[in-house]
Structure 1
Amino acid sequence: MQIGIDQLAFYTPQTYLDLTDLAHARDEDPDKYRIGIGQSEQAVIPVTQDAVTLAANAASQIIDQDNRQQIAMVLFGTESGIDNSKSAAVYLKRLLNLPDNLRTVELKQACYGATAGLQFAHDYVLLHPDKQVLVIGSDIARYGLNTPGEVTQGGGAVAMTITADPRLLILDDASAFHSEDIMDFWRPLYRREALVDGRYSENVYIDFFKAVWQDYQGQTGRSIADFTAFAFHLPFTKMGLKGLRAILPEATAAQQETLMQNFEASRSYNRRVGNLYTGSLYLSLRSLFDNATLHTGQRIGLFSYGSGAEGEFLSGTISPEFDSKSSQQWFEHFFASRKQLSVAEYEAVFNRQLPAHDVLLDTSDDDARFVLKGIQHDQRQYLDRSKKAVTDQ
């Protein structure tokens, strides 16, 4: 039975910062960001969006009357959860009007959470081929103003439906994974901004990638010659390039050229959005689908990494029903309609924090379908503009 990714959608707010402007404001050479880091723009997330609304705005693109009753689980990968007890998945379930007879679980292991959800979903659908699983990766990446990590901020959400006979990517059964207790990146409960040992984290990323790639090859007997492209977790896009370069010598000159071309296609969206944490790998995959020339049956490699640390290499083949035209059109419209913020405007948005008490937020500048309306009695209030009513949680 063939199981994999049937639909893959993305959402982030339309406000963004041009990193050339940020470089000038921080007295840096713009090429340090554009080339050295591999980023050109960065999504700016307003206080009226959180992990739940970002996920709802992404998932509402692929959940409709045709598949709503088939959804059996919502697996929500995030490291930007809004409650220490209640999962973001159950908030999302209500916003999407999903049936009551389903599981709603939040998954956390840094940027790896959505991949855990993908693998759990695969195994569930294998046993229940008439059902679908909604997998989410939704996060807001924050390091602070005037910090080394500022250029790798961003945010947004990906939403995937995992089904039998998928229309995008058929997952292979084999995968290789590796975990160690490593302090390369962490987010203590008392902090809103992440802590990271940047150079160490880069080295661990490469070490984990090489380890799982070798393990995968040992399991399957496959080599780099069996792959048309690789998609990477991209905290910044130069990181994925470093990963690919670690194994490029295994390929012929002709294949190296193809793999490099496809890598450029895979990082097109990420370099204009920034870091998505759990969603990063799957935005890269969406970018690959939309911007590379792919054919049915070609094999794609995926490297998922979550600091702390967990790495996994998995793979899949392009479905016979693969078609990226509608997604390409969505992204073209999205990028064309974005609103560029000045550095001062970006800093003002960044510094606007959600208070730890009841509040009514001004949502007039947020044109998303789902927004965070405020807090009442310590409960977040969500607005679905398609219903013009507040959803109380």
Structure 2
Amino acid sequence: MTIGIDQIDFYVPKFYVDMAKLAEARNVEPNKFLIGIGQTEMSVSPVSQDIVSMGANAAKNIVTEEDKKQISMVIVATESAIDSAKASAVQIHNLLGIQPFARCFEMKEACYAATPAIQLAKDYLANRPNEKVLVIASDTARYGLNSGGEPTQGAGAVAMMITHNPRILAFNDDAVAYTEDVYDFWRPTGHSYPLVDGALSKDAYIRSFQQSWTEYAKRTNKTLADFASLCFHVPFTKMGKKALDSILTDEISDETKERLTEGYEAATYYNRYVGNIYTGSLYLSLISLLETRTFEAGQSIGLFSYGSGSVGEFFSGTLVAGYQDALNIDGHKALLNNRTELSVADYESYFARFDNLEFNHDIELADEQNAIFYLNEINDNIRHYNTLN
């Protein structure tokens, strides 16, 4: 019996800002953004795209009519919750038209939550061979204009169909989690933006990776040579690279170092043009890896998930024969290539409208070519969604 990712897709809003231009506007040397943190573009979310609409947009192309009958659980992982009680999964369940007898709920632990959602789905499906679980990671990463975290913002969602006999990646029974109480990044109730200790966050991330990897290797007797590639949570592309480099010691062969380093670059290609999407960042990296490099069936991919506060987890999956046929490479390239660049001034106006919930569909939905869900209006604190095209 195998359980894993049968389908995977992502969605990002149609707007982005060029990081070099943002750096110049902030009187920062552009290479600090382009090379120092490793980001080229950053997705910008209009008011009309929140975690519900982005999550539904990420899932709509992988949920067939038959799937709607078989999905018995919908889990949304987010740290950008729009309600302290009502789960976004309930709204996404409605937008997608999934059968009514399904469990729907939301999970939170900073950027980590999509991983326990997957592990829960895996355990849930163990005795349910004819059912499926839809896991969605959807977030808008926001730190504020002119803030230290501004260049590590972004927006987007990743949707994964977890099933028996998956077509893409079969999960192995080898996950190791590591928990440590750290105030490296947190957002107290009522705060619009998170509080961040940048230096501590970097150190906590790397320590979490080293601890979970060391324990994983001890329990499984595996080494880095056993993996075709590794994927990391990617708040910015240089973060995971620092963690990877920390374990590429002199004892590791040059062939393994080269393979994993090249794999890391492939695994962060999409992230470089999207930015930080919190809970979905690891899984956007997985999509990027599988769509920019070629692997053989049976090869292992290692994954490191991290959520500030903090919980880290290292686990792995085995690639399934023909996995490439289940990917949407052309669709993803079109999604990224057909976005609209915003000037820094326009980006700032979009940012302010998002914070103030000021809708401007005439501007933000103009020339939209994709059939998408979007947030149309908010009346009496009730969100109303529409479809476009």
CA distance in 1, matches of 2:223, 2:56: 39
CA distance in 2, matches of 1:102, 1:336: 36
In the alignment, structure 1 residue 370 sits paired with structure 2 residue 373: yes
CA distance in 2, matches of 1:285, 1:139: 17
CA distance in 1, matches of 2:359, 2:167: 42
- Maintained 8 Å contact 1:169/1:318: yes
Aligned residue runs from structure 1 range 51-200, under 5 A: 51-200=51-200
- Give the 4+ runs in structure 1 shifted more than 6 A: none
- Maintained 8 Å contact 1:281/1:303: yes
CA distance in 2, matches of 1:321, 1:293: 11
* Residue equivalent to 2:234: 234
Structure 1: unaligned runs, 5 residues or longer: 387-393
Deviates more, 1:110-119 or 1:63-72: 63-72
* Deviations, residues 149-178 of structure 1 (Å, cap 9, x unaligned): 000000100000001111111110011001
- Maintained 8 Å contact 1:23/1:33: yes
CA distance in 2, matches of 1:98, 1:68: 4
Deviates more, 1:319-328 or 1:145-154: 319-328
* Deviations, residues 123-142 of structure 1 (Å, cap 9, x unaligned): 11111121110001000000
CA distance in 1, matches of 2:356, 2:254: 56
Normalising by structure 1, we get a TM-score of: 0.95
Distance 1:28 1:324, change over 3 A: farther
CA distance in 1, matches of 2:339, 2:182: 38
- Maintained 8 Å contact 1:15/1:45: yes
- Maintained 8 Å contact 2:167/2:326: no
CA distance in 2, matches of 1:382, 1:212: 41
Distance 1:131 1:325, change over 3 A: closer
CA distance in 1, matches of 2:66, 2:129: 16
CA distance in 2, matches of 1:253, 1:360: 54
Distance apart, 1:338 and its partner CA: 1.0
% identical equivalent positions: 46
* Deviations, residues 192-245 of structure 1 (Å, cap 9, x unaligned): 111111110000000000000011111111111101100000000100101111
* Residue equivalent to 1:40: 40
Q: State the SS of the aligned residue for 1:35.
A: helix
Q: Give the AA of the match of 1:268.
A: Y
CA distance in 2, matches of 1:324, 1:38: 30
Distance apart, 1:65 and its partner CA: 1.0
CA distance in 1, matches of 2:192, 2:325: 37
CA distance in 1, matches of 2:51, 2:244: 30
Q: State the SS of the aligned residue for 2:55.
A: helix
* Residue equivalent to 2:383: 380
- Maintained 8 Å contact 2:7/2:326: no
Q: State the SS of the aligned residue for 2:361.
A: coil
Structure 2: unaligned runs, 5 residues or longer: none
Distance apart, 1:377 and its partner CA: 2.2
**Number of equivalences:** 384
- Maintained 8 Å contact 1:112/1:306: yes
CA distance in 1, matches of 2:333, 2:265: 17
Aligned residue runs from structure 1 range 159-308, under 5 A: 159-249=159-249, 250-308=251-309
